A and B are shown apart, each in its own frame.
Chain A
């Protein structure tokens, strides 16, 4: 079946450090891939997305590239800030039947000043 696997958290970094959060997926067909972010006490909001292989999504300094050969969509940022502290969710939308979204378990990021 379709699934998303994210690295376990929490991830704790110092300000200006490099961030990578790993995400791999299993899916039939050609899913779209998403990263959502959840700040404390809020709902999820879209961070970036990619809809086909080799697409790169980017927003607010974050990037992720849709790698079909490795079924991955790793999130990266060159220099994190304290304000990036949040929970990050990798997700896909299925392409078999009516689409549904499947989310990973989330990775909590804490950035220290």
Chain B
């Protein structure tokens, strides 16, 4: 198993550009999520999905879109990049799906994407 994979590892954008951060998992996990990690802020939840076709907002969703057309993939789209979106982005997955049943499950994290917006 490759686990959770993310591409690219590094990206530099100019203000106003758009891009998609890719995330895929091969563990047949229902729950997937995107976080951003900023110094002194820890990890903050951007969007999450409890299964294919179901997504919801996290703590800091503005400026980001997601979709979940398959169980395996959960791309994160930056619509018009801003310097405030400079961060390290982590994708994670866990077994549980909708409802509370998966709340005890371990999350598995990808290696991260370091994004700089100039």
**Chain A residues at the B interface, C-beta cutoff of 8 Å:** 6, 31-32, 34, 36, 42-46, 49, 51, 89, 93-95, 98-106
Asked whether B90 lies within 8 Å of A98 as measured between CB atoms, the reply is no
Q: Decide yes or no whether B96 CB sits under 8 A from chain A.
A: yes
Size band of the B side of the interface? Answer: 20 to 34
B48 contacts which chain A residues (CB < 8 A)?
100
**Across chains A and B, which 4 residue pairs bring their CB atoms closest together, nearest first?**
A43-B109, A99-B103, A105-B42, A93-B103
Asked whether A44 lies within 8 Å of B90 as measured between CB atoms, the reply is yes
- Would you give the 0/1 interface string for B58-84, flagging 1 where the beta carbon is closer than 8 Å to chain A? 100000000000000000000000000
CB distance from B96 to the nearest CB of A (A): 7
Most A-side CB within 10 Å, residue of B40, B43, B92: B43
Asked whether B90 lies within 8 Å of A43 as measured between CB atoms, the reply is yes
**Chain B residues at the A interface, C-beta cutoff of 8 Å:** 4, 33, 35, 40-45, 48, 50, 56, 58, 90, 92, 96, 98-100, 102-104, 106-112
A46 contacts which chain B residues (CB < 8 A)?
106-107
A42 contacts which chain B residues (CB < 8 A)?
111-112
Chain B residue nearest to A43 in the complex (CB): B109
* A46-B106, A93-B103, A93-B104 known; A98-B50 Cβ under 8 A: yes
CB distance from A7 to the nearest CB of B (A): 13
25 sample A-B contacts, Cβ–Cβ < 8 Å, listed by A number: A6-B42, A32-B103, A32-B104, A34-B106, A42-B112, A43-B90, A43-B112, A44-B90, A44-B107, A45-B108, A46-B107, A51-B104, A93-B103, A94-B103, A95-B103, A98-B99, A99-B103, A100-B33, A100-B45, A100-B58, A101-B107, A103-B42, A103-B43, A104-B42, A105-B41
